[in-house]
């Protein structure tokens, strides 16, 4: 699992890949903290304690959003998917299905890392 560290020898991974892993790990931890603070705030009986936990939860949301923004800025696929699904309205599943039919096909001459495809089974 991603939270257990690198799955491959870090010596053979690029700095970007290592930072990508670190941001994903950090963002997962922030989201977990959001969940914990949210549950604790809802269960709190003291209004001041509840307010503190809600404040802490919101700080963790801020941190998670920073991690997501880093991913968007450093990955064309994250950027594309965030632009497709975030800050939209309507049925998300319908939007995904409709946009799949309209997604432009990548340049088949581009390397797999640029197109986001593995080219498995292709003659390229």
11-56 tens-digit pLDDT: 999 999 999 999 999 999 999 999 999 999 999 999 999 999 999 9
Backbone angles phi, psi at 88, to 5 degrees: -120, 175
Q: How confident is the model at residue 72 (pLDDT cuts 50, 70, 90)?
A: very high
d(CA 121, CA 60): 43
d(CA 29, CA 1): 13
Task: Look at residue 124 and tell me whether its pLDDT is greater than 50.
Answer: no
Task: Look at residue 107 and tell me whether its pLDDT is greater than 80.
Answer: no
CB 93 within 8 A of CB 100: no
Contacts of 57 (CB under 8 A, 6+ apart): 33, 34, 37, 38, 41
When the pLDDT of each residue in the chain is averaged and rounded to a whole number, the result is 84
Q: How confident is the model at residue 112 (pLDDT cuts 50, 70, 90)?
A: very low
Task: Look at residue 87 and tell me whether its pLDDT is greater than 70.
Answer: yes
Task: Look at residue 113 and tell me whether its pLDDT is greater than 60.
Answer: no
pTM recorded for the entire structure: 0.72
Task: Look at residue 110 and tell me whether its pLDDT is greater than 60.
Answer: no
At residue 54, the 3 state secondary structure works out as helix
């Amino acid at each position: 699992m991603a939270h257990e560290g690198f799955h491959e020898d870090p010596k053979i991974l690029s700095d970007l890949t290592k930072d990508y892993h670190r941001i994903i790990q950090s963002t997962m931890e922030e989201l977990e903290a959001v969940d914990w603070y949210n549950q604790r705030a809802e269960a709190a009986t003291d209004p001041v304690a509840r307010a503190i936990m809600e404040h802490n939860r919101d700080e963790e949301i801020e941190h998670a959003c920073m991690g997501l923004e880093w991913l968007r800025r450093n990955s064309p696929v994250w950027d594309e998917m965030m632009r497709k699904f975030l800050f939209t309205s309507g049925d998300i599943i319908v939007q995904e299905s409709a946009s799949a039919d309209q997604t432009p096909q990548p340049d088949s001459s581009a390397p797999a890392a640029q197109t986001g495809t593995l080219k498995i089974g292709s003659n390229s």
